[in-house]
Amino acid sequence: MSATVRLVLDQLDDSTIERAGALVAREQAAAMLACPQLPESYVSERVCTEALKELLDGGGRGVVASSESRPIAVMTAGVRDVRVVGRYARLPAEGLAVDPELDDPTTALAILYAEVAAPIVEDGVLRHYLLHVAHPRLPEALSNLGFGRNGVYAVQATAPRRASESVAVRVAGPEDLETVARLALVELRHRAAAPMFGADDDRTAQDLLAEHQALHEDGAVHLLAALDGHDVGLLTIERASPVPRLCPKDQPYIGPTATMPEARRRGVGRALVDAALDWAHAHGFGWISVDFDAPNPRSRPFWLGNGFQPTGYGLLRLIDPKRSRR
């Protein structure tokens, strides 16, 4: 299908949402041909429609592009406010899809982005984070819109793993949360360093202690790795992924991880991943997922080398501050 055909734009609402949900399901089915690890639930038109309704109910706004009454693209966006980066626009994978028969989705996506992003930019929100399913035609099209890859979402099946002979891994208890916070702080400092140059994060060890206490109370599991009797590594297993279209529903998700610089290249990370896969398998889970920073040169070879397969990507675009009227 050519992307140069005339497009009709409609707001995502009760009159268009079911057709848009069917489009998301159609794209998911096509993506699963190349990436079978994707959640099969999003092949259901009902599930996709409900996900779109949830985005709208949460304050998001969406637009549907159609050609000859057939939806060929949908895009949604909402504004969030977080401590580290402030207000930003999130364009979630559950609300973004293109017709898999489009030869080049750039034009359709550009038209939708112009419609969705314009009022957000006018409101002074200049940081835009977009998530998309792993589909071969999307990366180039979104790059044409000025987005750059920022994050990778990946999954693998759980399995029993043999414990490391040199690295001792244990499940942390409440008495270990100060150690968890100390190691989590190592991760924040690493993300701010070259070549990642992440956003300045002024959270303290006490802030992280409170956050991980809340995670622990919510059912998260912290794994601590020790070398020679000293805790040098952390892996956090959370109970659910924040990106349900890219990661299996109700399956564990790897959150904050860290290894002390002096302990790197000694098998700490591998021992933690093996322990996480073993823990998840022992507790009846079939999948475990993770996200990692694309600009981090250590992350990609580590996670892919440990068996995780990408299911989707997070892209970032920073709008020139001169475009804002605020």
Q: Tell me the pLDDT tens digit for each residue of 202-242.
A: 899 999 999 999 999 999 999 999 999 999 999 999 999 99
Please name the helix (run of DSSP H) or strand (run of DSSP E) that holds residue 112, with its range, or none: helix 106-122
Asked whether this chain's domains 8-146 and 157-309 adopt the same fold, the reply is yes
Inform me whether the pLDDT recorded for 23 exceeds 70.
yes
The C-alpha atoms of residue 292 and residue 253 are separated, in whole angstroms, by 12
Evaluate the omega torsion of the peptide bond into residue 92 and state whether it is cis, within 30 degrees of 0: no
C-alpha 215, offset from chain centre:
18
The C-alpha atoms of residue 177 and residue 174 are separated, in whole angstroms, by 6
Answer left, alpha or beta for residue 150, where phi above 0 means left and psi between -120 and 50 means alpha: alpha
Structural domain spans, the chain:
8-146, 157-309
Specify the residue for token string 């734009």.
9
Q: Tell me the pLDDT tens digit for each residue of 160-179.
A: 999 999 999 999 999 999 99
Please report, as a single letter, which amino acid is at residue 93: A
Nearest to 155 by CA among 31, 221, 94, 241: 241
What's the predicted TM-score (pTM) here? Answer: 0.93
In this prediction, residue 2 carries a pLDDT of 47
**Rounded mean pLDDT of 278-288?**
97
**Rounded mean pLDDT of 99-119?**
95
Length of the chain: 326
The C-alpha atoms of residue 170 and residue 177 are separated, in whole angstroms, by 13
- For 157-309, the fitting CATH number among 3.20.20.70, 3.40.50.450, 3.20.20.140, 3.40.630.30 is 3.40.630.30
Q: Are 181 and 231 in contact (CB under 8 A)?
A: no
**Rounded mean pLDDT of 62-75?**
95
**Superfamily of domain 8-146 in the CATH hierarchy:** Gcn5-related N-acetyltransferase (GNAT) (3.40.630.30)
